[in-house]
Amino acid sequence: MAHMKAVQLVAHGAAGQFKLAELPDPQPTRGEVVVQVYACGLNHLDLWVEEGALPMPIKLPRVPGCEIAGRIIAPGEGVTGWKEGDRVAIQSNIFCGQCEFCQRGQESLCLNSVMVGVERDGGFAERVVVPERALVRLPDQVGFETSAALSLAGSTAMHMLTSRAKVNAGDWVLVMGGSSGVGSAAIQIAKQLGARVIATGSNEAKRNLALKLGAEQTVDTKNESWPAEVRKITEKRGADLIVEHIGGKVLEMAFNCLARGGTIVTCGATAGRDVNLNLWPFFVKEQRLVGSYGRNRIDLVHTLEWAASDRLKPVTDRVFPLAETPRAFAVLRDRAVLGKLVIRVATS
């Protein structure tokens, strides 16, 4: 049997333990395809996998990597609509296609969702096997590394701004962590939907990047009075929409600069899962706090379309070869990044 190179997580820990392994080539069952991986992006989710800090058990050893772009090499039995050589992006939340939510196109709410790179082997490997419904065609104009730097965080932001919340022309949109994967995509999407964008950043390099991506103002979250800064910029109105993924104290403070009738849409809680919410101003000002999880298939399709027409550009910090995946994890853990880290598995 043929073999492939893969990076396996073999033990959990703040700095998990990895092994560069030779594994048997994955074989497709009915309805599955084998994809040759060209590039796979790193995400904060990978650090949670490394630490074992997710609510679901992770069976080890596990090949992480959930932002995969590649080419189909072996369509399995019963696969329709895909052939060898097709360029694809893989949707990381593999949905069942059967449940009531999937049938309504709300794959983000799938009752039987399985995360690739978490609950089944992912993309830090030369090949990966997934069900065909997880595939989205990669437009010709979108390179593998662009897809690997955009498809997960970009479609998360697309879901937040076009599916879970609405951006009206002229709205003030505050993007928390404007240099992050979700943040950098959210700035570009909000701007092109006609919003005026403010972004937060904890250092000058991050704030400059946010400005380059289309934010018209930035605020420094190291300064405790940042919500007051936002109110000043918006002439006391506050932000109509706040794109949040940090949680904890940051989410609590965000309410201090949320406009009347405004919405906070949140997709993460890296800084804390418990928050205090004062209900009085919340209902008096008719505000909304909206959850957002992953993406629907259509959000990924739109993300790649936007990338194809240059409306959405990735911000890539560094590209590593497959064998250096553990080093990429360490770099991400140290937060010494501006934009995405991408693993290049093969050159196209």
Closer of 107 and 126 to Zn ion (Cβ): 107
In whole angstroms, the minimum distance from the beta carbon of 106 to Zn ion comes to 9
| Stretch near Zn ion under the rule CB under 5 A, chosen from 44-52, 102-110, 178-186, 325-333 | 102-110
**b/e 18-31 (16+ beta carbons within 10 angstroms → b):** beeeebeebebeeb
| Stretch near Zn ion under the rule CB under 5 A, chosen from 106-114, 188-196, 256-264, 293-301 | 106-114
Specify the residue for token string 């949670």: 48
Closer of 64 and 294 to Zn ion (Cβ): 294
Size of the site for Zn ion (CB under 5 A): 5
329 binds Zn ion (CB under 5 A): no
**CA atoms of 44 and 272, how far apart (whole Å):** 14
Q: Are 182 and 268 in contact (CB under 8 A)?
A: yes
**CA atoms of 170 and 194, how far apart (whole Å):** 6
Binding mask 62-101 for Zn ion (x = CB under 5 A): ---------------------------------xx--x--
Tokens of 327: 């080093």
**b/e 249-263 (16+ beta carbons within 10 angstroms → b):** ebbbbbbebbbeebb
In whole angstroms, the minimum distance from the beta carbon of 115 to Zn ion comes to 13
275 binds Zn ion (CB under 5 A): no
What DSSP line would sit under 241-255, residue for residue?
EEEE---HHHHHHHG
In whole angstroms, the minimum distance from the beta carbon of 65 to Zn ion comes to 23
Question: Site residues for Zn ion, window 110-139 (CB under 5 A)?
Answer: 110
**CA atoms of 9 and 195, how far apart (whole Å):** 42
In whole angstroms, the minimum distance from the beta carbon of 293 to Zn ion comes to 13
Residues forming contacts to Zn ion in the complex (CB under 5 A) are 95-96, 99, 102, 110
